Amino acid sequence: MKEDLLELLVKATSQHAAELPAVLEDLSLSQADKNTQLNTLKMNCFLLVHLVEAFEVETYKAALGNVEPSGKGRKAKSKADGFLWETERENVLQTITHLLQLDIRRLWSMSLIEEEFISMVTGCCYKMMENPSIGALKNKPLWEALSHLLGVAVKRSNDTLSKYRKCDA
């Protein structure tokens, strides 16, 4: 069920990311429509990040060797069904990175992305980086994808802080 939910959330988030550029360019967008888009964005990311963290807990335990033999059976079944978290993880990271690369700050009041939103995304990345099976030497493409996502999130966060400081001045 978690695998199906992940597939559905990635699809919904990707579709929303594809629709957002047109929404963000619409200068006549009402505040109610902005709020709807913002709530959709936040909810998609919230659910996606928390589901990713649930998968990461499982892989972290497996990497530490704390998984019982039944866990291996479950993993084998997942592979037979065509689901591999290691593959899906990169797809999720690409989806979130694409979303953050959009000019989503326009959805927030005063064009300031909430610190909690950035922290939610970066926290998920840091949790992945803690997983011993992901180390920079073990899985370089994944490590680079995580680093890229963190870089985009930090850039957005710095943009927000810069704008916030200008508003205070």
CA dihedral 155, 158, 163, 166 (to 10 degrees): -140
Q: Give residue-wise pLDDT tens across range 32-67.
A: 999 999 999 999 999 999 999 999 888 877 767 755
| Alpha-carbon distance values, 16 to 21, 29, 87, 106, 168 (Å) | 9, 16, 22, 15, 33
Nearest Cα residue to 108 out of 44, 15, 14, 31? 31
In the numeric block, the tokens 């902005």 are attached to 34
Most confidently modeled of 29-33, 66-70, 82-86, 134-138? 29-33
Q: What is the pLDDT of residue 27?
A: 86
